[in-house]
Amino acid sequence: MKKKPVSDERLNRVIRYLAIALLTLAVVFMAVQFSDVWNWIIAAFKAVIVPVALAWIFALIMFPLIRYLEKKGIGPRGLSLAIVFVITVGIIFALFYFVTPFLVTEITNFFNDDFQTILTYLTTDLRDDFILGTDIYDRIYDYVTETDLLNTWLDETMPNLLTSLSSFMLPLLTAIAIMPILLLYYLLDYEMIGERLRSIIPQRHEKRVAELGSRLNQTVGAYIRGQLLLMLAIGTVATIVYKLIGLKYYFVFGVLVGLTNIIPYFGTILAAVPPIVYSFIAGGSPGPLLVLLVNVVLQFIEGNIFQPIIMAHQLEMHPLVIIISILFFGSLFGALGVIFASPIAASIRVFYTFFKEQRQLSLQPEGGGGEKSP
Amino acid sequence: MIPAKRSKIHSEFEIRMILFYATMLLLIPNVLVVTYLFDIDQRVDIIEFIFWLLIGTLALSAIGTAILFMRRDFLKRRVKPTYRGEFIYLLFISAFGLLGIAVLYDYLGGNRQYIANVLIVVFALMLYILIMLGRRYFKFEYMGKK
């Protein structure tokens, strides 16, 4: 059978794609040659983006409250903003004032009463309880002592950890210091900033970009507000249930459940491990099985009752997509990437759905409005 | 054609009535959750505290009922297609109320061994009431996946 000749149109398309790929590679190559300059520019951008992004996230939480007050006739903007600001600062202050003493007391008690017991267990009693048998335990123990594995690992990790912590904390602290001022001005001129941003966009794209922006705002806003509500609820419920079952250090473990709830799937495991391990080592009441049961029930109720209603299916994604995005964005942006993996993935989905809709609209015959003629 | 079995659309008056009385019913358990969490029960006489809380709740109930009936005509004219935000509020006070009932049981000297039993029974009852209210008044089925 004779082969069909390649059409000119197809050939042109292939050449065009190849040219684009080559040009992209050339740009990347050039960029790599000037990596110092790029690092300098990226650092400058980072210094701006972190506080701006934080201010934007806080604005997504606070602006609906300001709008609510204005709807109720509490205005002008300055007054409603001042009320919301004072309430927010008051809540943050109260949280620190009432919660911190509990946390400090429990952590101090842990190091005074139980830390030594746990250390003794790990070095002596663990051998008898080791699930793979005492022989395997002895071999692992000998290997670790002979190779000085733990000390080598600590020597290698600690300096890196301290460097990365300082490089992460310093911009974050600067951002936290600048953020309230940025937030104040952003909320004061919320609509005007939106209008100015819209005016930059060419007129023929303005409507579509505004629609996309509003969808992104809605998705990320819904995620942040819903997640905060869930964290608060699940943290409080876990603290009370832990106290009811008689678990020591219930406050620290409960706060841990609330904080790690921001990481989908992995957060649950991260929060459940410390109380289960503690109750296993410390013995007495409650047993590790009961603590595990409490965690499973809490997560079941949160995942099947609270989350679907609060998030309203706005961020409903396949678990695999969420896990892959956590791994990907976690490796790209570190801890912040893990925390914001879900909203970033949801935003990408918003982009994808939007462009798909636009493509479908452009393919429809003009004036038809997508309806079938009778 | 209008279907014969149309679900009734409820006004904001009915929704606010439900929310208000649910809040009043669960106010004591919700406050007790906070006292339990921050160990306030160790600083005050908790039975006396519950007594004053009960009196406060009764007073609030009377004032709230009067206000609701004064605004009855206005609220009767307001209707929303779904009451999602209101249902989330009800869900939250019910969740904390459930825990508060367990705390109340503990404060009133109930045997700690049976706390789980109390929780399960009250949870089942609350879940049934919430589903029923959600379907009938808050248009719960509209919130599901489309």
| Residue-averaged pLDDT of chain B | 84
A98 close to B38: Cβ distance less than 8 angstroms: yes
Instruction: Work out the percent of chain A whose per-residue pLDDT is above 70.
Output: 94
Average pLDDT score over residue span B59-70:
93
Contacts of B33 in chain A (CB under 8 A): 236, 240
Closest CA–CA distance from residue B95 to any residue of chain A (Å): 8
Residue A373 scores a pLDDT above 50: no
Say if the Cβ atoms of A240 and B33 lie within 8 Å: yes
Q: How many residues does chain A have?
A: 374
pLDDT given for residue A374 in this prediction: 37
The count of other CB atoms within 10 Å of the CB of residue B11 is 16
Say if the Cβ atoms of A240 and B99 lie within 8 Å: yes
Contacts of B113 in chain A (CB under 8 A): none
The per-residue pLDDT for range A26-69, each reduced to its tens digit, is 988 888 888 788 788 887 887 788 788 888 888 888 888 888 88
Three-state secondary structure call for residue B79: strand
Rg (CA), chain B: 18
Would you state the structure tokens that stand for residue A363, as one six-digit string? 């393919």
State whether residue A236 sits within 8 Å of chain B by CB: yes
pLDDT given for residue B145 in this prediction: 47
pLDDT band at B146 (very low <50, low <70, confident <90, very high): very low
Determine the residue of chain B that is closest to A100 in CA distance: B38
B80 close to B137: Cβ distance less than 8 angstroms: no
Residue A263 scores a pLDDT above 80: yes
Say if the Cβ atoms of A240 and B84 lie within 8 Å: no
| Residue-averaged pLDDT of chain A | 82
pTM, 2 dp:
0.76
Determine the residue of chain A that is closest to B40 in CA distance: A98
Average pLDDT score over residue span A250-277:
87
State whether residue A318 sits within 8 Å of chain B by CB: no
DSSP 8-state assignment for residue B42: G
Cis, peptide link before residue A5, omega less than 30° from 0: no
A304 close to A230: Cβ distance less than 8 angstroms: no
Average pLDDT score over residue span B4-10:
69
Would you state the structure tokens that stand for residue A42, as one six-digit string? 């990226």
pLDDT, greater one: B6 or B116: B116
The per-residue pLDDT for range A157-196, each reduced to its tens digit, is 777 777 777 776 777 787 778 888 888 888 888 888 888 8
Distance separating alpha carbons of residues B123 and B95, to the nearest angstrom: 9
Distance of CA A32 to the CA centre of its chain: 30
Residues forming a β-bridge with A184? none
Of the candidate ranges A116-130, A214-228, A265-279, B20-34, the one whose mean pLDDT is the lowest: A116-130
Contacts of A316 in chain B (CB under 8 A): 145
Residue A371 scores a pLDDT above 50: no
Closest CA–CA distance from residue B6 to any residue of chain A (Å): 24
Say if the Cβ atoms of A244 and B102 lie within 8 Å: yes
B33 close to B107: Cβ distance less than 8 angstroms: no
**CA atoms within 13 A of residue A21's CA, in its CB half-sphere:** 6
Testing the interface with B: which of A225, A242, A243, A249 to mutate, by most B Cβ within 10 A?
Answer: A243
Three-state secondary structure call for residue B11: strand
pLDDT given for residue A44 in this prediction: 82
Average pLDDT score over residue span A119-137:
76
Distance separating alpha carbons of residues A169 and A51, to the nearest angstrom: 13
Alpha helices of B12-114 — where are they, by DSSP H? Answer: 12-37, 46-70, 72-76, 84-107
Three-state secondary structure call for residue A316: coil
Contacts of B87 in chain A (CB under 8 A): 309
Say if the Cβ atoms of A236 and B87 lie within 8 Å: no
Nearest CB to B37; choose among A240, A305, A306: A240
pLDDT given for residue A103 in this prediction: 87
pLDDT given for residue B17 in this prediction: 92
Average pLDDT score over residue span A241-268:
86
pLDDT given for residue A325 in this prediction: 84
Distance separating alpha carbons of residues A75 and B47, to the nearest angstrom: 44
Say if the Cβ atoms of B99 and A309 lie within 8 Å: no
Nearest CB to A309; choose among B37, B106, B143: B143
Average pLDDT score over residue span A291-314:
79
Distance separating alpha carbons of residues A108 and B28, to the nearest angstrom: 33
Q: What angle do CA B34, B39, B40 make, to 5 degrees?
A: 70
Three-state secondary structure call for residue B27: helix
Hunting for tokens 């109750």 — which residue is that? A279
Contacts of A102 in chain B (CB under 8 A): 38
Closest CA–CA distance from residue A371 to any residue of chain B (Å): 22
Of the candidate ranges A115-119, A332-336, B96-100, B117-121, the one whose mean pLDDT is the lowest: A332-336
Contacts 24+ apart (CB under 8 A), A150-159: none
Say if the Cβ atoms of A309 and B87 lie within 8 Å: yes
Average pLDDT score over residue span A230-252:
88
Average pLDDT score over residue span A3-16:
82
Determine the residue of chain B that is closest to A232 in CA distance: B92
